[in-house]
Amino acid sequence: MNYEINMHLDTIAVIRLYGELDHHATEKIRDQISRTILQGSLKTIIWNLEKLNFMDSSGVGLILGRMRELRAVNGQTIILNPSNTMKKIFQFSGMSSLMMDGKEKDAIMHARGIVNG
């Protein structure tokens, strides 16, 4: 499991996940993102799942947990380019409205509209 985190304007984090997201990988990502949220500047996380091949329940928990942390600071979550299987999982989890297909730059512009709304 590989991942990248890129910050935009100190308020938007784009997290690109590659390969397989399981319990071991989620711990590392969780700690890093939670610290950033607690610092107070992060308002939006865009999870780019375009190159993610597999995600178990801990991956869903990772996204849900960070979503809850962001809500505490009036933040937003965007799930970008999930596979068809992942779309079903997120729909069953009540996160349909958070999903988006497209390019990162479009998701960033969408987030900036939400944040600056």
Q: Is 34 exposed, middle or buried (0-12, 13-18, 19+ CB in 10 A)?
A: middle
Q: Where does the pLDDT of residue 115 fall: very low under 50, low under 70, confident under 90, or very high at 90 and above? A: very low
Q: Where does the pLDDT of residue 1 fall: very low under 50, low under 70, confident under 90, or very high at 90 and above? A: confident
pLDDT at 116 over 80: no
The CATH number of domain 3-115 is 2.30.30.30? no
Q: What pLDDT is recorded for position 117?
A: 47
What's the pLDDT tens digit per position in 28-86? 888 888 887 787 788 999 999 999 999 888 988 999 999 988 888 889 999 999 999 99
Would you list the domain boundaries of the chain?
Answer: 3-115
Please state the pTM of the whole predicted model. 0.89
SS3 72: coil
15 close to 29: Cβ distance less than 8 angstroms: yes
Q: What pLDDT is recorded for position 104?
A: 95
- Least Cα distance to 111 among 50, 33, 47, 34 occurs for 47
